[in-house]
Amino acid sequence: MPAWLRDLLARLLPRALAVRLGIRHLTPWGRYWPWQSVRVAPLDTGGTYRASNRRQDPSVDPKEPYGGESSGTGSDHGWANCTMASAATALAYQVPRGSKTAWGGDMRHHQSDMTGGTDLYDARQAWSAYGESLTIRSGAGWSGVDKAHREGRAIIAQGQGNVPGSQSFDGGHACVIAPETHSDGRWLFGDPLASDWQWVTAGSIRTWMEALSGGCYFAVGDAAPETPPGPEPEPPDTGGPADRAAGYAEGRAAGYAEGMAYGQAAEADRTFASWAPGRAVPPPPAWTARWDDATWAGTITPPPVVTEGGAWVLAAIPLTAVWMAQTPATWGAAAWTAAVWRG
């Protein structure tokens, strides 16, 4: 359905009918509602402006209950405020340095739906009460989400299934995609049920959003941040083992090139050769004198080593285990060296 038609029907049809027809989608939605939040490790901002990740937990949201409401009403609103909390977080990116501070409880009480879950149209109504314009781009698909992210906009996104990162809830849910991108390609992701922001892969966000709708339900502010992020690489595909292998090949090539550039190849050779203390290192060609591309490839199919009895056997070396643990897609020389002391 074209975005303009969806928007028109959402405005004209009674709310209950629009929800039933799938034109409007309320969150939370699913077999049950969330009744607890999760704690995740806090992230360093790296000196970059980053809005606070507003939580929908009513024990954290100072605006639930709101005004003269009972604590029970505040609790019901709070745990159903994922879209409202996400709208509050995104609003902080819409205005200069978060000059308009709001919580999910503020958003809830600046729109007209006071029962159960809410949707992007409710978020748009709440934003308008703060003098800001929210554009709903549902139906634009993942390419539309990626485009909005490249434009440097905060995105209110709806999805279904285990939430990327925290896996806090597997029903219909709303989160925020922040403008920031990690050096390894991950996106900054705000789950209102998590205690802080998290770095998650673009692929996991896409899977989560498309599980709810192939067209993707999302909304963005009309104004990009004052200082939009610079060009970013294509987000990595984070599928199964085949994708992991592709990422490993890229990382291996990048790590080797960087190591050679800094003259650390010889040091790396000595370090890797010492991984099996007490064992004899096979002579060339079973073990090359230099870690070239062929030797890096040998970390997938382990090279032969000599046992105490003198028999040639195949034995896994630590890099294989590190790779199977899904190492970062891009490795520098320092990262290769650090990997020696893991596993």
102 pLDDT more than 90:
yes
Domain assignment present for 227 = no
Residue 21 sits in the same domain as residue 133: yes
- Which of 43-47, 121-125, 150-154, 215-219 shows the lowest per-residue confidence on average (mean pLDDT)? 43-47
Residue 181 sits in the same domain as residue 71: yes
Chain-wide mean pLDDT for the chain?
75
Domain assignment present for 149 = yes
- What does the block give as tokens for 304? 């032969």
Residues 6+ apart with CB under 8 A from 166: 38, 40, 191, 193, 194, 198
* 101 within 8 A of 127, measured Cβ to Cβ: no
* pLDDT (0 to 100) of residue 172: 93
Residue that wins the pLDDT comparison between 269 and 321? 269
89 pLDDT more than 70:
yes
* pLDDT (0 to 100) of residue 87: 97
- The helix (run of H) or strand (run of E) holding residue 109 is none
Domain interval for residue 278? 241-340
In sequence order, what DSSP letters do the residues of 48-99 get, joined into one string? S---------TTT-TTSS-TT--HHHHHHHHHT-HHHHHHHHHHHHHSGGG-
- The helix (run of H) or strand (run of E) holding residue 156 is strand 155-159
Residue 211 sits in the same domain as residue 293: no
Domain assignment present for 56 = yes
Give the CATH number for residue 23: 3.90.70.10
Residue 67 sits in the same domain as residue 185: yes
- What does the block give as tokens for 275? 């991984």
Mean pLDDT of 6-35: 81
Domain assignment present for 228 = no
* pLDDT (0 to 100) of residue 91: 94
Q: State the total domains in the chain.
A: 2
Rounded to the nearest angstrom, the gap between the alpha carbon of residue 222 and the centroid of all alpha carbons in its chain is 22
* pLDDT (0 to 100) of residue 150: 93
Domain assignment present for 230 = no
- The amino acid occupying position 35 is W
pLDDT one-digit tens code per residue, 21-37 = 888 888 887 667 788 88
49 pLDDT more than 60:
yes
Show which of 221, 255, 274 is a domain's final residue. Answer: 221
Residue 286 sits in the same domain as residue 257: yes
249 pLDDT more than 70:
no
This prediction has a pTM of 0.63
Show which of 166, 191, 221 is a domain's final residue. Answer: 221
190 pLDDT more than 90:
yes
Domain assignment present for 272 = yes
Show which of 173, 188, 221 is a domain's final residue. Answer: 221
Residue 185 sits in the same domain as residue 315: no
Residue 195 sits in the same domain as residue 299: no
Strand partners, 218: 157
pLDDT one-digit tens code per residue, 130-148 = 999 999 999 999 999 999 9
Residue 157 sits in the same domain as residue 113: yes
Residue 37 sits in the same domain as residue 138: yes
- Which of 69-78, 91-100, 237-246, 333-342 shows the lowest per-residue confidence on average (mean pLDDT)? 237-246
Residue 212 sits in the same domain as residue 250: no
- What does the block give as tokens for 6? 């969806």
Reported as a pLDDT band with limits 50, 70 and 90, residue 318 is very low
180 pLDDT more than 80:
yes
* pLDDT (0 to 100) of residue 207: 96
336 pLDDT more than 80:
no
Domain assignment present for 234 = no
Domain assignment present for 233 = no
Residue 294 sits in the same domain as residue 215: no
Helix (H, G, I), strand (E, B) or coil at 248: helix
Mean pLDDT of 169-173: 91
pLDDT one-digit tens code per residue, 290-308 = 444 444 444 444 444 444 4
- The amino acid occupying position 53 is N
Residue 205 sits in the same domain as residue 261: no
Burial of 319 (0-12, 13-18, 19+ CB in 10 A): buried
